[in-house]
Amino acid sequence: MGGTKDSVEIGKKLINLGDLFILYTSTTDYGGKLGEEFANKVITKPLDKDELKEVIKKHNIDVLIDATHPFAVNASKNAMEVCKELNIKYVRFERKGEKITHPNVVYVKDFVEAAKLAKKSNKVFHMAGIKNLKTVVDIVGKDKVVARVLPISVNEALKILPQKNVVAMYGTFSKELNKYLIKDYRCDAMITKESGESGGFEEKVYGALEAGAKVIVVEKPNLNYPIYFNDVDELINYIRNSL
């Protein structure tokens, strides 16, 4: 289960283990294209619990590697439950990220709490994707929020914010680019997610701090994973030994 840069790295190393059938899932077409390089089959749509169970049974899957985004909580919960029911291995991969301690960095539990805190600012840069943008805008106000979203999400963003407050860019970005975006839009606060190294978390935080903005970080959810790795090579060795 992928859609992340880490999942692609894992997939490319899995094909070196020998004659494996690799099924790769992502919730988006873009995420699916990432898997075409190494997977025997790619599924590009969200799978509910029953659909996931049928896919695993149909393709005789032995091991499920969950390399989804840290905030894809429901997907991970469903995967753990299905693996338990079908008695197959569930393995979680997630990069280990260190919390950044600074007087202007505040960690909160969810986007409602983040928005309430951000409302005290003059202008807020939302660097946490499209999914929770409406929650933030409803609380902070559309004139006070600037959002960076993927180009594929622009139409959805324009239903929430005026055109002048939408920045469409693909990728992870340098500290300098984040800093100058925040400065150019004259934002004194930024909302982001604790997305780890692959999500450009540090570059966002340190860029915002250098721009003089308060940083509001929504903490990643903590789940009780049965098997967990934060190093790709250690995960691959585990899979090799399991096979």
Kindly give, in sequence order, each residue whose CB lies less than 8 Å from that of residue 99, ignoring residues fewer than 6 positions away: 107, 194
Domain around 230: 5-96+223-242
Give the torsion sign (CA, 236, 237, 242, 243). positive
Domain CATH code at residue 211: 3.40.50.1980
Specify the 3-state DSSP secondary structure of 107: strand
The pLDDT value given to residue 200: 86
| Residue 56 resides in a domain | yes
- Is the same domain home to 145 and 182? yes
Domain CATH code at residue 87: 3.40.50.1220
Bridge partners (DSSP) listed for residue 93: 229
- Is the same domain home to 69 and 168? no
- Is the same domain home to 41 and 89? yes
Cβ-contact 55, 23 below 8 angstroms = yes
| Residue 105 resides in a domain | no
The pLDDT value given to residue 198: 64
The pLDDT value given to residue 33: 86
- Is the same domain home to 120 and 185? yes
- Is the same domain home to 21 and 45? yes
**DSSP secondary structure letter of residue 200:** T
| Residue 103 resides in a domain | no
- Is the same domain home to 92 and 123? no
Beta strands in the chain (DSSP E): 23-26, 41-44, 63-66, 89-93, 105-108, 124-127, 145-149, 166-168, 189-193, 214-218, 228-229
- Is the same domain home to 177 and 232? no
| Residue 13 resides in a domain | yes
- Is the same domain home to 16 and 47? yes
The pLDDT value given to residue 97: 72
Domain count, the chain: 2
pLDDT profile of the chain (243 residues), mean per 10: 91 93 91 89 95 97 93 94 97 86 96 97 96 97 97 96 96 94 98 82 96 96 92 96 85
The pLDDT value given to residue 49: 96
| Residue 229 resides in a domain | yes
Phi, psi of 136 (to 5 degrees): -70, -45
